[in-house]
Amino acid sequence: MSDIALFDHNLISPEVQAALPPNHTIRALRSGDYERGFLQVLEVLTEVGNHTKEEWLERFDYIKRHNHECTYNFTIVITDDVKDRVVAAGTVFVERKFVHKNGLVGHIEDIAVDASQQGKKLGLRIIHALMHIGAKRGCYKVILDCSAKNIPFYEKCGFTQKEYEMAWYV
Ligand code: ACO
């Protein structure tokens, strides 16, 4: 597979692109981002696993092929184009509900900024770009779960605290 984008570029906010530092790009995840360190960026979040290129492509290709189905998975990255490296990443997936008259809800997941790049507003740009995608795709709300220490960050992005998260681990 050559360097294929997960979804169409017209969903990427031009305002967010304009606000990035020079030589940085915000765009859909691409199959070639394996070499640009996408999985290493996610390591600030949790254990990622040592994917072979084949294992990475298996998941990328699955998401790409199934994105027209029940949920739609938009993963985006910010790249440093001088170093040709991924420096930040995030996902919004769109859930199709019955309530709110077949309403759509955006769920933000796996927000990660490379440890050496934190504090430069890249996280904020990723969130604003994901909110833009959710709004453009017709979501009536966009929600996420986070730790208490990240609440001030999400408040700065425009979110307000609601409900509680529950989890069950298999
Ligand atoms: N507490 C208080 N304020 C914060 C925090 C924090 N923990 N993090 C960021 N902020 C503030 C910044 O000071 C900034 O405020 P300002 O506009 O007044 O200057 C504003 O929020 C925007 O901050 P960014 O520079 O965009 O933050 P950054 O690029 O570092 O991204 C992130 C924040 C995503 C939390 C990053 O630090 C990171 O990757 N952390 C490790 C992984 C993680 O916790 N990811 C989120 C998991 S939750 C989820 O995925 C749904």
ipTM of the complex: 0.98
pTM above 0.90, yes or no: yes
Note the pLDDT of residue 72. Answer: 87
Note the pLDDT of residue 1. Answer: 55
Contact (CB, 8 A) for 129 and 13? yes
In a domain, 32, yes or no: yes
In a domain, 134, yes or no: yes
CA of 119 to the centre of ligand 1 (A): 7
In a domain, 166, yes or no: no
Digit-by-digit pLDDT tens for the chain (170 residues) are: 589 999 999 999 999 999 999 999 999 999 999 999 999 999 999 999 999 999 999 999 999 999 887 778 999 999 999 999 999 999 999 999 999 999 999 999 999 999 999 999 999 999 999 999 999 999 999 999 999 999 999 999 999 999 899 999 99
Q: Which atom of ligand 1 is nearest to the CA of 149?
A: 7
In a domain, 92, yes or no: yes
Ligand 1-lining residues (CB < 6 angstroms):
44-45, 108-113, 118-124, 144, 146, 149-150, 152-153, 156
Separation CA 111–CA 44 (nearest Å) = 9
Separation CA 11–CA 130 (nearest Å) = 9
Single out the residue of 24, 56, 28 nearest to residue 121, CA to CA. 24
In a domain, 170, yes or no: no
Residue 139's domain comprises 9-157
CA of 150 to the centre of ligand 1 (A): 6
- How many domains would you assign to the chain? 1
Taking the mean position of all CA atoms in its chain, how far away is CA 162?
Answer: 21
What residues contact residue 120 under an 8 Å CB cut-off, 6+ apart? 21
What CATH number is given to the structural domain containing 26? 3.40.630.30
In a domain, 128, yes or no: yes
